[in-house]
Structure 1
Amino acid sequence: MMKMTSSAEIVQLNCTMGVVCIGFVWNSLNLVVTVLHQLRTEGYQTASLIISCISLSNMLLELSTAGIVGILSTGMFCLQQVHPLVKIVLFFWFTSSYMSFWSIAWLSVFYCVKVVSASSEFIKMLKRNISSIINVALVLTGLGSALIMIPFFFLQGQNPSNVTMTASTTKNTSCTILTPTLPAWINSNIYMYIVIGFLCPVPLAIMLSTSLRLVIYLCKHTISLRKNKTKIQSTDSYLLVCKLTVSLVAVYLATLAAVGIFLMARMAKVDLDSSTLELSFSFYCTATAILLTASNKYLKQKILTLLCWRKVAQPATSTQSQTTTL
């Protein structure tokens, strides 16, 4: 018999698609508003450039994740040969994930260097040139992620003998989902270590170390101001930066945990719906978009105006319009 879609599955699908749409639209708004603001002002601000990279990467990540779920549901992974569409979707899925994760890591580095003070000459030099360094790092990250993922265009199908097909009396067929393999001229183990290493542990280590350094510095700075009882310098901008970086790390960790559970369930042959994967990445994209908007005065003002939550937007000065005033 044909499998009927239950009401619970319909509700889950609707919720997933709703989160996908919200995340895609919100990241689109962040990207458009940030780019238009950059075009209207002289020069490019590094923080705004990072926000643009994160927003664009999240949009591609939403689309490619939806593509993977669609491929799984249509059974394209059951084919003996890897369909070109599968290669393209996997390429953009990993590339956009790389760019989004690393852009958040560079944002943490940027704010950490900008906020934390030190007497070292090296740190002072780093502070003076951090914008140029991060701009170059973003370009290299985009090029590097694309180059690392090029082997995905050479994926090959498994031997047809590995495919198990079963036919019921009602002519319905099912198959074992195949795992595409890399060509023989690529060492699969080394390649996967590189892919996974640069996708998870390395950017996570950067996020955690810089966020922890910001929190420690903020605590010491606040205690020092209270002890000296001098003219207290406002720490609102510092606190906002710490909240942003720590929240982004928390969202990243939550996404990794959800994806890890999904993969382990798949390996254990537990019937976990593929929409769980899409919901995990959609949560990540939506949450990061909201956090970036909340931490940026100009973005928050413009988006609230677009959503008609404010009738008249208050004019922002050149200093107020920058991302997370420091």
Structure 2
Amino acid sequence: MWDVQNPVKPNPPSLSQWLYQAIDIPGVRLRIRLRGNNLHILLEGSLPPTPETVRPRLEQALQTQTDSFQVFFRNTEDPVYKIILYGRRVGQQRPDWIESVVLADLNLTTTTPSPLPSSLSTALLSNEHLARTGSPEAIARYLSESLSHLGVSVKVLVQKLPETETNLREETATSGLKRLWIICSCHYSPDASLIAEPIAQQLRDLELKGFKEAIIRSQVQGEANPDWILQVDLTHPTELLWEWARWGDAAAIARLLNQRLAAHYLDARVIADAQTLHIFCRPLPDQPTAPLIPPTQATLQEVNQALTELQPQGMTAAAIYGLREQAFP
């Protein structure tokens, strides 16, 4: 913690003095703490400062003096994604108010090019939405939302994989897959079960395209070797479903067929028996526009096209049944 009570000269040599000049409220003491990727700022005074005064001044300083603010974090492993402001009267235990300032929402401009496409309006898109685009900065902010309260900071890097490491279907192998490096740093050694599985699930929920895997690396700040490393498969669900179907999985084949048949208000069930696929098609239940019987030509065309593309391994024949009833056998 740093306490600052008096105004300082221009060109402040420290972050605390920069913040004091930016907020510019005489008689207010600032205490700051960097926890994870969040910068916490406590403002105390005999008269508690109001958020209506503090927040606009800080946001204006961040937008007009971006370079001078970011210089304090140039050589740190903890990039700041959010500033959390607290205001209270001196001697009080609890703050009177709490405000959050997300730096990405301010659309800060610096003398260095932004890694995000200029067409994206970060003020209108959530971190999760931006993270789905594959931006490493957005992914880091998205993960940081659930880790900063633990004092864990997150940095994300992208590595392009050689074509020899791509092991998806042949036609996509030349497109170039990538690997995510999720680097977590902390002042202590957090248990792997506390952060590894939540990060892995959040990454899977993003359904990132073009990424083969993520490597999560947890490291205590100041130490050379990581505490632990976890590999997470990031194969896109659609690609994974296609692979399962290609190997003859009946449930996966049925799901892909249903994506095609839905336009005709039909539903399918697939049973694999030896080397034959038995495909039962029926009208979708509770659909007033569904046909009484699956139309023969349209149904055969959709099923045939799907099986031709999939070429399920180990299957040599398919029997297709059109059902009038809504219940599968």
Pair in the same fold by TM > 0.5: no
Q: Normalization by structure 2: what TM-score?
A: 0.22
Higher share of residues assigned helix: 1
Q: Which has the larger radius of gyration?
A: 2
Greater RCO (Cα-Cα under 8 Å, separation 6 or more) = 1
Structure with bigger strand share is 2
